[in-house]
Structure formats: structure tokens, C-alpha cells
Amino acid sequence: MKNIFFCDEDYAGGNPGALVAPEDTNPENDGSQEELFSKIRDHFEGDVSPCYAPDRTTALALALAAAAGKNSLYLCSKTSYAASRASASITGIAGMKPLEIPSEFGKLHPETILKCLGTLPKHQYDRCNIVVLSQPTEYGLVYTPEEIEEICLCAHENNTLVLVDGSRLFFAAANLLRPFREQTLFAGVDVATFGAAKNGVAGGEAVLISKRGIAERFRKLQKAMHIDLSGAGSFSSGFDCLLTYRLWRKRALHANKMAAALGNELSGIPGIRLVCSVETNKVIAEVPPGALQRLSEEYSLRTFRCPGDVVRFVTNYTTSGEDISRLIDVLR
């Protein structure tokens, strides 16, 4: 069986869906959604309506449909989760399709968004009313709050909403060392998903909505589509633990630190080239054929061509220096 270390945060410690340890849970939390939602409101310090979804894809689909309306179009980076692995499910759940636009390692810019909107035929322009940002991007790059604010201003001036896919928001926050609210609602974001599965909590995602009308439509869609909410209790307890004890920060900082260390090691191996800077817990590197063959025999990793053989290495809160050393030994 291949080693699944460095494949995805969901495989923390080699155990799919690793949970917050029982000793870490908050004894004062009984798994109540409302208790968790109250805590989230405290963190975001605004008029936010939190909702729950059982997984990342459902969270995105329901949030998009509630914000933009079914059968709409959404702008996003070609490399984003919303454009690639989730697009078919989003179409199935919400009847929405992506309009892919050029990006810089997954990062969108106001100028690119304006150019795209300005060149759409009327029948598409009228249906395209939301932009999806990944924070951080699938390459691990981080938007500053100021960059997100610029995009929100640009979008809103063109009657377009902004949704942040925050399944990895913890890692961006650990890089920025600034509150969650500054990279979402305070920057003008209309809807944001807020995931914990990538940081060791199974059971779903929170969805943060700044407009009551969108929140009401979100809940109506949940009921109409019979979305399974049975995991809300365990999710609430685990997520509460991450927030209450700032466990999220410890875990995310560790994962980011390990990615930086891995990036330094990889850049010292002849023939291996880092595709972009390492800002969170992802390292994207071009690997020569021989090393890639050895790597593929030992590890299960995601590869793609752009245009060379590029590998995505993902660290998490259980990644150790020994894990990195074993990987480097395979590549040398």
C-alpha cells in the first residue's frame, strides 16, 4: 500500500478523517449548533448568520445557489476546487456552472474579473453574478485582506457577489496572523465557507453569510433538498474545540512550518523546481521523470502537468521532520 502522507490534510497522520482527540474537546460544549454559531459570531464580530453543511462541496453548492440563484454562472480560477473537482456536484445540486478565468497560481485580480465581465455575451452576463475566491488558493498562496477588499469593491460595483471558499482558511489566517473576519466579512465578502476537516475535525463545514435573505434561502434549500444534518453535533463539538483553545492556530502554524521546511529541502535537490512560493501548507514542485517514478512507487500524491510533471505536497498538523526526511531520501 502506498504512503498517503503529503497527499491531503484529510489524511492527517495517515488516518483518513482524523478527529480532534477526546481529551482536547470542550466539556462545556454539548454538541449544540447554536453554541458553536454563537462562538463564530464572536470571532467575526459582525451581523453574520452561520449555517451548517455536511461537507465542502455541499457547502459551496448551497451557498452559491442561495446567494446567486439556481442555474446562475459563477466566476472562478481554472485551478480552483469550485471549477474542477466540485463543479459537477455543484451543477447537480445547484444547476450552476463555472466560468473559468485566468489566475496567478489561483489568485484572481480585479482587472481580470472586469475584463471577463466586460467580454461576456449578454445572455451569460445576466446570469453571472458571483465570484468564487479560494483562501488560500489551490497552490497555497494567500490573499491579503486588502486584496480581497479590492476584489469585493470591484465585484460589487458590477452587481456581483463574492464567495470565499474557506475550507483551508485556518492556514491562511496562520500565515497572515490576522483575524478571520479581516479576510472575509470585514473585507466585504458576502458569503464564506469555513472548514475544519483540513485541520482535523470531521463532520462538515460552517457557512458564514452576511445577508439575512441569503441565509434564509440557504436553510430553505437545505430542507427542500433533504440535506443530511446528522453530523452537526460532532462537527460542532470539534470545531468549538479548535476555536475555544486556539488549537486551530497551533495546528495550522505547525503545518505551514513543515511546508516551509519541505520547500527548503526540495529546492536544494538538483532538477527539482518550486513552481511558486510556499505561503501555507502546500508545496508545488516540478519533479524530473526519474525522481517522479521513485516517488510514485512509494507515495500516493496528486500530480498535474503545467507543462512539466508537477507534484502537490500537502503538510498537516501531524507532519514531522522525520516524515520530510523520508520523502527527501526517496527523491535524492
Which tens digits make up the pLDDT trace of 105-136?
999 999 999 999 999 999 999 999 999 999 99
Same domain, 36 and 109: yes
Domain count for the chain:
2
- Residue with the three cell numbers 463555472: 98
pLDDT of residue 198: 86
Same domain, 224 and 327: no
pTM score of the predicted model: 0.90
Please report which confidence band the pLDDT of residue 230 belongs to, taking 50, 70 and 90 as the band edges. confident
CATH at 274 = 3.90.1150.10
DSSP string covering 124-178? HHTTEEEEEEESS-TTS----HHHHHHHHHHHHHTT-EEEEE-TTHHHHHHHHTS
Residue where a domain stops, chosen among 244, 278, 300: 244
pLDDT greater at residue 72 or residue 23: 72
Same domain, 235 and 144: yes
Strand, coil or helix: what is 305? strand
Question: Distance between CA 54 and CA 227 in Å, rounded?
Answer: 8
Range in 28-37, 85-94, 280-289 with the lowest mean pLDDT? 28-37
- Name the residue range of residue 287's domain: 249-331
Q: Which residues contact 259 (CB under 8 A, 6 or more apart)?
A: 140, 278, 280, 281, 282, 283, 313, 314, 315
Query: Which residues sit opposite 302 in a β-bridge?
Result: 312
Q: Per-residue pLDDT tens for 137-178? A: 999 999 999 999 999 999 999 999 999 999 999 999 999 999
Range in 11-20, 69-78, 236-245, 262-271 with the lowest mean pLDDT? 11-20
- Please give the helix or strand (H or E) that residue 264 lies within, else none: helix 247-267
Same domain, 46 and 103: yes
| Most confident of the following: 40-54, 137-151, 302-316 | 137-151
pLDDT greater at residue 285 or residue 34: 285
Same domain, 166 and 68: yes
Same domain, 31 and 173: yes
**Strand 282-286 vs strand 309-314: parallel, antiparallel, or unpaired?**
antiparallel
Where does residue 71 fall: left (phi above 0), alpha (psi -120 to 50 degrees), or beta otherwise?
Answer: left
Question: Distance between CA 295 and CA 329 in Å, rounded?
Answer: 10
Q: Give me 105's grid cell.
A: 497560481
Same domain, 92 and 220: yes
> Are 197 and 10 spatial neighbours (Cβ–Cβ below 8 Å)?
yes
Question: Distance between CA 161 and CA 64 in Å, rounded?
Answer: 10
Q: Determine, yes or no, domain membership for 22.
A: no
- Is pLDDT above 50 for 217? yes
CATH at 176 = 3.40.640.10
Please report which confidence band the pLDDT of residue 195 belongs to, taking 50, 70 and 90 as the band edges. confident
Residue where a domain stops, chosen among 202, 223, 244: 244
Same domain, 258 and 240: no
Same domain, 91 and 171: yes
Same domain, 304 and 174: no
Same domain, 210 and 153: yes
pLDDT cut 90: percent of the chain above it: 58
